[in-house]
Amino acid sequence: MKKILKVGTMYPLTILCVLAIWVLCFCMPPKTQLDDVPFIDKWAHLLMYGGTTSVFWWEYWRQKSKGKMLSRVTLLWVAVLVPILMSGLIEILQATCTGGRRSGDILDFVANSLGVLLGWLLGTTVVRWLASKIFHA
């Protein structure tokens, strides 16, 4: 429990983003004019997961500048595998536990996974560069 609380204090924005994803994925989205945009929900999924992964990397580089590093294996799990697994779990829960209000969609899972991978790419390049400029200035 102590480790979980420590992670929460080290990565508070990431935890907030993950909680937002869980809430948003089980709420009914309102009808808007954007519903007519092709694949708008896939773009939303890509941005949610890409944004969350980018936020994680921002917080990771901030922690690293304080000397608090994670191993490569831990980084792989936390930054890539866990979000993709979480995405799959959410899609399964949407398909089976929402009484038809939401549906699990393999293309949502693909968009989520692509968002994680793009966030990883962004986080290991641009965010690292920005963090080095800000935290080492």
Give the predicted TM-score (pTM) of the model. 0.85
Q: Rounded CA gap, 17 and 11, in Å?
A: 10
Residue 78 CA, chain-centre distance (Å), reads 10
pLDDT digits (tens, 9 = 90+) for 3-22: 656 667 889 999 999 999 99
pLDDT digits (tens, 9 = 90+) for 27-40: 887 888 888 888 88
The closest alpha carbon to 17, from 127, 112, 134, belongs to 112
Res. 110 pLDDT band, cuts 50 70 90 = very high
